A and B are shown apart, each in its own frame.
Chain A
Amino acid sequence: MILDGRAPIGPIETQWERHCRDLKLINPANRRKYKIIVVGTGLAGASAAATLGELGYNVETFCYQDSPRRAHSVAAQGGINAAKNYTGDGDSVYRLFHDTVKGGDFRSREANVYRLAALSNNIIDQCVAQGVPFARDYAGYLENRSFGGAQVSRTFFAKGQTGQQLLLGAYSAMLRQIRAGNVRHHSRAEMLDIVLLEGEAKGIITRDMVTGEIRTHAADAVCLCTGGYANVYYLSTNAMGCNVTAAYRAYKKGAYFANPCYTQIHPTCIPVSGDYQSKLTLMSESLRNDGRVWVPIKKGDNRPAGEIPVVERDYYLERKYPAFGNLAPRDISSRSAKEVCDEGRGVGPGGRGVYLDFADSVRRLGENSVRQKYGNLFEMYERITGENAYAQPMRIYPAPHYTMGGLWVDYNLQSNIPGLFVLGEANFSDHGANRLGASALMQGLADGYFIIPHTIANYLAVSGPGKADLDNPEFAKAREDVNTFIAKILAIQGRRTANDFHAALGKIMWEHVGMSRSEKSLKTALRLIPELREQFWEDLKVPGGNADLNQELEKAGRVADFLDFAELMTRDALSRDESCGGHFREEHQTVEGEAVRDDETSSHVSAWEFRGGHEIPEMHKEPLVFENIKPAVRSYK
């Protein structure tokens, strides 16, 4: 089937405005008759819940954390882009749009990206009004900095904690609506299934993570704002609890999963230090503004960094990409780091690391200046590694960080299931095959504050209120299915822990479906994943029962979904026979090792439909048409 993203026709500059004019409205007095479920309370979920609550809808929110303020958006460090052009360096909505489409390696939907760029300015206004303490200059105006992959300074930031501050802004706005009675929130509640009535999304099943109770919730529409799936790699910069379960179970109910192979490996993370490692820590890539990336020219050069003279160092990003240098996009920087380490020139224990060196900046600006800009990051680095990065270079290595793929949505952010909307990282639409720095926060908030309030009304006005009834047997059936799934997990009583399986899966994915992929490696993964899954269902050990707080049970359910999802992701990577953005197929590269896209055959979104059990899913294509920005070879030289 050919999928239609239903983007409006006509000039891109006015598409959204014209589209809003055509969307149906719901009168303020009628809005409280509509119930909307929002799952996940990060930037997308909290901003959506707050705005829908303000409008007068009856909103119910869910998160697995003990408070919405802890959603992993909180960890974004660097900043948020907007086309304000406050610095007068030639930025515009068009340029942000252009950079984002190019950064995504021409695999995103133009109309969505333009809208995102246009709304970026409203986000900054909104956040400032909420009291988000963005950095200011001495005259009191907002400060900007440049960020990976951009040649203008358009990034707004709040120290190294921009995600935290934006999330707290959205969280506060949501709390105001809880206080006002428009939003009802459930913490420590995990969504385990979605309920469809006559093909439309009308409710969810949750597990109360304290009592184990399985609950049914009916609504007129459901918004999934459940983040990404980078934890399929086990080690990633995501929080321990981040998972694919909500999205994957929606997929099993018929929602299409788009471009699951697009994953972003972030270049500036602290390298792995041992087998017990539970997660990887990101160092904001804003560090690349003042740090220089290098490795020794000689293989196996074990001298301390300070004893290697400049002429024996390879500043490989500056050498290969003189125009962008250390600010080259994430996929390019990550792959280059892997390359030099594969050549045996990596630094630190195990040789999986490259230097990020601040010596020149300290000399140029003084240690105090560097401390002022990055002090908290240097402290964090020291806490984790025990090393002082003012005196010796940091060691960094790429780590899975963000996932551009997600549930397929149309221009209204509605999946192919009517009534099921998907926001933020959980959807697929805006970043194509690679996301530029400081644009995830932008997308989460654009979706939640400024897009969903308009588009969901259009659906609700047509479908009408109060169609879902908890007495409908579909709810009882879905609850039964969830209970059966949990009972099945508890009954295995084998020998290996959920963590053990998760780590094993992560190893397969990192090795074979990681930074670079080949037909051979992907086929190997397609053999190994089902084997591991089989072992999981035979040899898993989960102690305790379902009737109280059971963290092993929570983990096991998520790992079960990752084991299924990993196969889908691998299949997608195999079918995408080109290199683009974060998806690098070894078969498709230039002699210099740059990615080679195939616009003839692969300029499309791959949206996968579940076919039951472990049948091969069916792929639907949404053709990508570029009317405003001509696809070109993405060059950062």
Chain B
Amino acid sequence: MKLILFIWRQQGADDPGKLVRYDTSEISAEMSFLEMLDVVNEGLVKDGKEPIAFDHDCREGICGTCSQVINGVPHGPQERTTVCQLHMRQFKDGDKIYIEPWRARAFPIVKDLIVDRSSLERVMQAGGYISVHTGCAPDANSILIRREDAETAMDAAECIGCGACVAACPNGSAMLFTAAKVTQFASLPQGQTEAKHRVCMMTEVMKHEGFGSCTNHYECQAVCPKGLKTSFIARLNREFLKALDSPEMPESFSGGFLNRGNPSR
């Protein structure tokens, strides 16, 4: 099939960017979306032009590296599917496809379609772990976990950290991302000791990194390639409320964070 692509090109973080048109032919329906871009790039390189920079790695939907907004939707038109797993049979001959990077205040552009998502890493560093030293764990079956709780924890832990939720949210909120980690540990007995501290620290850093907060648009759930649910955000809010008035609550919190919405408004 033939396609008309409009792809965001931007040399560096401080340079202006623009959509550039590329006409392609000989695209097969069996190709993945990224293989289609490979074909475009091979052509550009052979013509001595700089190829389109885009992030990708595992190409099997699990590493969370690929990050493109396709026709306005993070990860494109297919539900529960990362860009790398999207195949061209989802498109038809003559389609116009607009390809842009994740857009969010907390994700500065590095080049073309590549953004800097280290802000998510800093949210994780703030408390996305259970503090257990290597070697001091008790026998694994000494901690019994209800199957339902283990499954909730697993559903939440499926997050691949791609950041599509942030890119889709009008507030640029990372609440679904943060909520996933908070929910995973809040569902498990091992996670209880640090639960209050964790939710306070992670939300604090989230705010500090320039992410907005949830005002119930549900866009994150619609684009999440792993099908994470906004019910996790409700869980995050409950965990947050449980921590109010606890000594773990940082002083910088005036308590009004949860419904602040878009920080730039």
Could you list which residues of chain A lie within 8 angstroms of chain B, going by C-beta atoms?
A: 47, 50-51, 54, 65-67, 69-72, 74-75, 84, 86, 122, 124-131, 133-142, 158-159, 161, 164-165, 168, 172-173, 175-176, 178-179, 187, 210, 237, 239-241, 273-274, 276-279, 281-282, 379-380, 383-384, 386, 449-450, 453, 495, 497, 499-500, 541-544, 548-549, 551-552
A-B CB proximity, top 3 nearest: A140-B144, A129-B137, A172-B129
Q: List which B96-118 residues lie within 8 A (CB) of chain A.
A: 110-111, 114, 116-118
Bound CA–CA A172/B57 (angstroms): 21
Determine whether the beta carbon of B65 is less than 8 Å from that of A187: no
Contacts of A168 in B (CB 8 A): 157
B-side contacts of A134, CB under 8 Å: 140, 150
In the complex, what's the smallest C-beta–C-beta distance from B211 to chain A, in angstroms?
A: 16
Query: Which residues of chain A have C-beta atoms less than 8 A from B158's C-beta?
Result: 159, 161, 164
13 residue pairs of the A-B complex, CB under 8 angstroms, read A70-B58, A74-B63, A125-B139, A134-B150, A140-B144, A140-B150, A142-B140, A239-B63, A383-B81, A383-B87, A384-B32, A549-B53, A551-B51
Bound Cα distance from A551 to B112, whole angstroms: 12
CA gap between A379 and B161 in the complex, in Å:
20
A-chain residues with CB within 8 Å of residue B121 when the two chains form the complex: 67, 69, 175, 187
Given A74-B58, A383-B85, check contact A131 B184 (CB 8 Å).
Answer: yes
Contact A276 B138 (CB under 8 A): no
Query: Are A178 and B45 closer than 8 Å at their CB atoms?
Result: no
> Which residue of B12, B45, B130, B146 is within 8 Å of A548 (Cβ)?
B12
Q: Name the residue of chain B whose CB is nearest to the CB of A270.
A: B60
Contact of B28 among A126, A210, A239, A274 (CB under 8 A): A274
Question: Max chain B CB contacts within 10 Å: which of A125, A135, A380?
Answer: A125
Given A130-B130, A499-B42, A543-B48: A84 and B153 within 8 A (CB)?
no
Distance in angstroms from B61 CB to nearest chain A CB is 7
Could you tell me if B87 and A129 are in contact, using CB atoms closer than 8 angstroms?
no
- The interface residues of chain B lying within 8 Å CB-to-CB of A173 are 129, 132, 134
Report B-chain residues with C-beta under 8 Å of the C-beta of A383. Answer: 61, 78, 81, 85-87
Q: List residues of chain B with CB within 8 A of the CB of A449.
A: 134-135
- Tell me if A175 and B125 are in contact (CB < 8 A): yes
State how many angstroms separate the Cβ of B138 from the closest Cβ of chain A. Answer: 7
Q: Pick the contact of A549: B110, B131, B161 (CB < 8 A).
A: B110
Indicate which residue in B110, B151, B157 contacts A165 across the interface (CB closer than 8 Å).
Answer: B157
Is residue B141 within 8 Å, beta carbon to beta carbon, of the partner chain?
A: yes
- Check if B172 is an interface residue, CB within 8 A of chain A: no
In angstroms, Cα B137 to Cα A51, docked, is 13
Cα A278 to Cα B87 in complex, Å, equals 13
**Beyond A543-B45, A543-B51, is A133–B140 a contact (Cβ under 8 Å)?**
no
- Given A161-B62, A273-B30, output 15 extra A-B contacts at Cβ < 8 Å: A47-B134, A66-B55, A67-B120, A70-B57, A75-B60, A128-B143, A129-B143, A173-B129, A237-B60, A239-B57, A274-B28, A274-B31, A497-B45, A541-B45, A543-B51
CA distance A172 to B194 in the complex (A): 14
| Chain B residues within 8 Å of A, Cβ to Cβ | 11-12, 28, 30-32, 34-35, 38-39, 42, 44-46, 48-51, 53, 55-65, 78, 80-81, 85-87, 89, 110-111, 114, 116-118, 120-121, 124-126, 128-141, 143-147, 150-151, 153-154, 157-158, 160-161, 184-185, 188, 190-191
Q: Residue A240 contacts which of B49, B56, B130 (CB distance < 8 angstroms)?
A: B56
- Min CB distance, B237 to chain A, in Å? 21
Query: Which residue of the partner chain, among B30, B64, B131, contacts A69 with CB atoms under 8 Å?
Result: B64
B57 touches A276 (CB 8 A): no
Q: Contacts of B137 on A, CB cut-off 8 Å?
A: 122, 125-126, 128-129
Shortest Cβ gap from A92 to chain B (Å): 16
B114 neighbours in A (Cβ, 8 Å): 549
A-side contacts of B143, CB under 8 Å: 128-129
Q: How far is the CA of A67 from the CA of B34 in the complex (A)?
A: 20
- Other-chain residue from B65, B129, B131, B134 in contact with A70 (beta carbon distance below 8 A): B65
Q: What CA separation (Å) do A336 and B103 show in the bound complex?
A: 49
A384 touching B50, Cβ below 8 Å:
no
| Nearest-Cβ distance from residue B247 to partner chain A, whole angstroms | 19
Residue B190 contacts which of A71, A131, A210, A499 (CB distance < 8 angstroms)?
A: A131
Shortest CB distance A300–B (Å): 23
Contact A126 B132 (CB under 8 A): yes
Known contacts A158-B154, A161-B158, A541-B45, A239 near B59 by CB under 8 Å: yes
Q: How near does chain B come to A431, taking the closest CB pair, in angstroms? A: 22
The answer to whether B57 and A551 have CB atoms under 8 Å apart is: no
Q: How far is the CB of A210 from chain B (nearest CB, A)?
A: 6
Contacts known (A136-B147, A179-B126, A278-B35); A380 close to B157, Cβ less than 8 A: no
Contact yes or no, A125 B138, CB < 8 A: yes
Q: How far is the CA of A279 from the CA of B31 in the complex (A)?
A: 11
A278 touching B32 in the complex, CB below 8 Å, given contacts A126-B134, A130-B130, A172-B128: yes
A474 to chain B, nearest CB (A): 32
Separation in Å of the B244 CB from the closest CB of chain A? 23
Q: What is the bound-complex CA distance between A324 and B157, given in angstroms?
A: 34
- Asked whether A133 and B58 contact (CB < 8 A) given A175-B128, A499-B42, A541-B46, the answer is no
Are A543 and B49 interface neighbours, CB within 8 A? Answer: yes
Chain A residues closer than 8 Å to B131, beta-carbon distance: 176
Q: How far is the CA of A309 from the CA of B121 in the complex (A)?
A: 55
Give bound CA distance, A173 to B124, whole Å. 11
Residues of B near A66 (CB, < 8 A) are 55, 65, 116-118
Cα(A543)–Cα(B45), bound, Å: 6
User: Given A51-B134, A136-B150, A172-B124, does the pair A84, B129 have CB atoms closer than 8 Å?
Assistant: no
State A580–B249 Cα separation when bound (angstroms). Answer: 60
Q: Which B residues are CB-close (under 8 A) to A172?
A: 124, 128-130
The answer to whether B42 and A141 have CB atoms under 8 Å apart is no
Chain A residues within an 8 Å CB radius of B64 = 67, 69-70
Partner of B161, one of A69, A75, A273: A69
Which of B46, B118, B147, B184 makes the CB contact (< 8 A) with A497?
B46
How far apart are B122's CB and chain A's nearest CB, in angstroms? 9
Which residues in A have their C-beta under 8 angstroms from that of B185? 131
B185 to chain A, nearest CB (A): 5
Given contacts A129-B138, A129-B190, contact A140 B55 (CB under 8 A): no
Contact B58 A239 (CB under 8 A): yes
The interface residues of chain B lying within 8 Å CB-to-CB of A129 are 130, 132, 136-138, 143, 190
Q: Provide the bound-state CA to CA distance between A175 and B125, in Å.
A: 5
Q: How far is the CB of B124 from chain A (nearest CB, A)?
A: 5
A495 adjacent to B58 (CB under 8 Å): no
Cα distance, A543 to B50, chains bound together (Å): 6
**Nearest CB on A from B113, distance (A):** 11
Contacts known (A134-B150, A172-B129, A552-B45); A380 close to B141, Cβ less than 8 A: no
Q: Which chain A positions have C-beta within 8 A of B190? A: 128-131
**Chain A min CB distance to B76 (Å):** 12
* CB atoms of A380 and B85 under 8 A apart: yes
CB pair B30 A75 closer than 8 Å: no
Q: Are B188 and A131 neighbours in the complex by a CB distance under 8 Å? A: yes
Knowing A139-B144, A383-B87, A384-B85 touch, does A278 contact B125 (C-beta < 8 A)? no
Of all chain A residues, the one with the shortest Cβ separation from B190 is A131
CB of B140 within 8 A of CB of A74, answer no
Q: Is the CB of B59 within 8 A of A278?
A: yes
Most central of A127, A131, A139, A551 by chain B CB within 10 Å: A131
